[in-house]
Structure 1
């Protein structure tokens, strides 16, 4: 039998490539029922389950439990005739598409079929060509209903998200809020709770999926709306009766158990809709507390307390004093600072990150080679982004200890030299990208003769300034080549070589490998 390909494309739009539809055939004649089931290629239409019923009562039970997409029913059947069955089908499985078949061309039956919104009517004796046309017509009808359903759902979802957004805004128009509640059927006179759900896993790109979160509450009979705040967080609002408070708490614990990657922050409960902005603010406060408690899954902040405010003005001067006098104590300073922050749950994450960003800038941030060392030895490609992505004080503390280790290793090596030689080393670190950097440039900057400067440097370090510059550039080049992120001409420019060809020549002379070979080898 030839199958209409346009109809198949309709079906794909409705159900997707892996869809499976059910068909219910109801007829008291065994030959007709079995013949339709076995003689027609239903699989070509995506119908992979055939349900058979010998009378109207059996058909109704099957329809109620299986919810078939298409129902093909005889009009004349025992117990419940086709019309009676169809009338009850509208309640038991309202989305089922109805096809009638009968050998009795009775006007009243046809009128009843029309009133019941039957898609088509197949005459007996049945011809397969008629069945094919009727099935194609039914699938087109399914597609049309599905499209309408999608449009309505999209519109309602936008309204729900707009309502959730308005309910966390203390300046929202109350009349507009009430109108949206009525349009989507969200309760107006209930108890409410604002909650923020977010992905708690460090380094994860998985979003806190609003649809999944809402589905959990809806499946448990709770009225809920929500809004995607950002890829990591979503805000939801529950509406419930006062006596359901314990049940809401139980369901929240169940949600946490089922969704191991999510944390929940619960705001202050609201007695009326207009109190929800306060619920949102306290939920945000609860989220902020998670920075200091990585093992807690659910956070509560029922009261809008005043944020503990304390100056951090003493922290950075202490850092600079340690760096200047006892740099080896810097790891202890990092640990003690983080412990003090955690004890008071202050400052907020943003202020902690800003503080330590300054520390990074004044340590490894002044020397690109140290930044690349962090990448090659610790896997930290962008230390500043990594810093702001840390979700817990513990993770941030470990980052700063890694930064400190790299900086201390370099600093303690440099500190063994005189102040003049240290200044030369720091000048080279700041200007190595300049292809003209040499002994003369450094001597002019320090207002000393090249001979005197070169001699002092060689006496203390055991190497010439020229060789130190070459070694500095080459060590940096090796790190950049190994990382695999940059092209060779870019690396040559970043490391202060006049051209990519010259860089390749110098690199091979130093390592016995071309940059490409070295990258593959490492």
Structure 2
């Protein structure tokens, strides 16, 4: 804290500054002034928490100084000193909300009591200010939330604006700001954003939509539009990790919801433009046209007849989306989720390859979390690459053997899966199915099922988060003990030994 002592008497001024260990009061800076004008200049510059001033001083009296101090440093606590027992001075001191009136000659214990009283008053006021500030912040955030509601009651909005001091007769701009960087610690700081605009003369309120995203409403006069435009560029330069999406301006309080809506639409463009920092709405609504509706039929046709062309299809499709900026991220994700389900589906062997080699887990969720079309394209190319490699491995076989391989991949978890079940599915004899399979693959169906399950089991055992009983169930074994026995025959190691080795 800072203490200003103003007195034209050198002995009093210097004596007070040296008579106390001010640190015990939390005061670490003493400012001295020998007249009222100098006291006002220093108070304006330093903003002292406590001011101890004589009433009668040259150039400007203590009363005149105190009157101007209320404007220059309104939070300063005022203590008067005077050797003149003048009723008028006492009235002035009371009027100016002085904490104490100390009579000269000064008694140090009275000064100490007055300082302690000032500090107590300061702390009480600070606590009250914190409570008021927090309440105002909550009310402002609630107002911002209500202003983006199309159906909010106008009278209620006007009352709320009045309560928080938000102007109700300006123009308004709604914009969404978000932290474009990845990572849980990459947050969007609403307080810092509001401070940026407040410090530049604009009234703003905002709402934290989530940890990475804020919605801000700025009130401005028509003549401030050019300044506003320039400050948006400054903001983007200053906050390097933030993107901003600007909605259409609103001419009245009840229209602000439209500004939020168009800001959302502008924000959606970032999915296609990862290198752009500032987005404006272009009135491009989601295009639900024939081209989009034909995409799934195209995919199904290629998957059946020319699967090797699916990589180029995804690449070309994403390039078209980038050029035209359609459809929305949600529709692209939904389309690609269908592609994933119809290719790798829930095949654990393919999913484990994606997790191990491409660090991709929970495909659908990762698609929804993608912030750019480029990242979504990357995931899809990895998925289709894995699927195509598996598809090409079985494409060398006849249609009947491919059907057997696909049936095993679908039913390997069934503990009853055997040659008889497959023959019944194929409507063929066990001998005929067994002969065809052995002739083309070089192994028996029984051995293939065992190898299929073991390949999967090895990958699952290598993962430390699964219990052996769970792995046994996932791989189609009736019990964990039987699974462990088969596993050791195949690898010469128990499952736990195999895991430790890996």
Q: TM over 0.5, yes or no?
A: yes
Aligned to 1:405, which of 379, 385, 395? 385
Query: Do structure 1's residue 96 and structure 2's residue 76 form an aligned pair?
Result: yes
Maintained 8 Å contact 1:100/1:113: yes
Cα deviation code 1:436-485 (max 9, x no counterpart): 44444444444444444344333322333343333333333343344444
Counterpart-to-counterpart distance in 1, 2:119 and 2:461: 59
CA distance in 1, matches of 2:498, 2:54: 78
- CA shift at 1:355, angstroms? 0.6
Q: Secondary structure at the match of 2:187?
A: coil
Q: CA deviation at 1:295?
A: 1.3
CA distance in 1, matches of 2:297, 2:107: 96
- Secondary structure at 2:108's aligned position in 1? coil
Unaligned runs of 5+ in 2: none
C-alpha contact (below 8 Å) 2:55/2:63 kept by paired residues: yes
Q: Report matched runs for 1:90-169 at 5 Å.
A: 90-98=70-78, 113-119=93-99, 124-127=106-109, 131=112, 137-169=117-149
Quick one: distance in 2 between partners of 1:197 and 1:426? 49
- Distance (Å, rounded) in 1 between the aligned partners of 2:55 and 2:380: 78
Residues 513, 175 of structure 1: alpha-carbon distance in 2 compared, 3 angstrom cutoff: same
Tell me the residue number matched to 1:363.
Answer: 343
Taking a change above 3 Å as real, the CA distance of residues 305 and 290 of structure 1, as seen in their structure-2 partners, is closer
Show the 5 A alignment for 1:360-439. 360-439=340-419
Q: Check 1:358–1:30 CA distance in 2 against 1; reply closer, same or farther (3 A cut).
A: same
Report if the CA contact (8 A) 1:433-1:496 is conserved. yes
Distance change >3 Å, CA 72–CA 487, structure 1 → 2: farther
Match of 2:443 in 1: 463
The residue aligned with 2:153 is 173
Deviations 1:399-425 (A, max 9, x none): 110111111111111212222332232
2:217 match: secondary structure: strand
CA distance in 2, matches of 1:264, 1:324: 44
Aligned to 1:6: none
**Are residues 352 and 75 of structure 1, via their aligned partners in 2, closer, same or farther at CA, if it must alter by over 3 Å?**
same
- C-alpha distance in structure 2 between counterparts of 1:431 and 1:341, whole Å: 38
2:288 to 309, 331, 347: 309
Equivalent in the alignment of 2:229: 249
What SS does structure 2 have at the residue aligned with 1:201?
coil
Secondary structure of the structure 2 residue equivalent to 1:238: strand
Pair 1:305–1:105, CA change in 2 (3 A): same
In the alignment, the residues of structure 1 paired with residue 487 and residue 87 of structure 2 have an alpha-carbon distance, to the nearest angstrom, of: 94
| Matching residue of 1:35 | 19
Q: Say whether the 8 Å CA contact 2:173–2:248 is kept in structure 1.
A: yes
Which of the residues 326, 332, 345 maps onto 1:346?
A: 326
| 8 Å contact from structure 1 (residues 223, 240) kept in 2 | yes
SS of 1:235 mapped into structure 2: strand
TM-score by length of structure 2 reads 0.86
Go from structure 1 to structure 2 and tell me whether the alpha carbon gap of 1:365 and 1:125 turns closer, same or farther (over 3 Å shift): same
466-475 or 183-192, larger mean C-alpha shift: 466-475
Q: Retained in 1: the 8 A contact 2:173–2:246? A: yes
2:30 alignment counterpart: 51
What is the TM-score normalised by the length of structure 1?
0.83
Distance apart, 1:119 and its partner CA: 4.5
Matches of 1:446 and 1:241 in 2, distance apart? 77
CA distance in 2, matches of 1:23, 1:496: 80
Question: Are the aligned partners of 2:286 and 2:328 in contact in 1 as well (CA < 8 Å)?
Answer: no
Name 1:297's counterpart in structure 2.
Answer: 277
Q: How well do the aligned residues superpose, as a CA RMSD in angstroms?
A: 3.3
Change (3 A) 1:431 1:71: farther
The 5-angstrom pairing of residues 177-216 of structure 1 reads 177-202=157-182, 206-216=186-196
Show CA shifts across 1:117-161 (max 9, x none): 444677844249x83x66665444333323322332233223322
The aligned counterpart of 1:10 is none
- 1:110 deviation in Å? 6.2
In structure 1, distance between residues paired with 2:163 and 2:155 = 12
Matched residue count: 494
Q: Is the 8 A contact 2:4 2:33 kept in 1?
A: no
- Taking a change above 3 Å as real, the CA distance of residues 310 and 41 of structure 1, as seen in their structure-2 partners, is same
Does residue 236 of structure 1 match 2:216?
yes
Deviates more, 1:355-364 or 1:146-155: 146-155
Q: Is the 8 A contact 1:25 1:50 kept in 2?
A: no
What SS is found at the alignment partner of 1:226?
strand
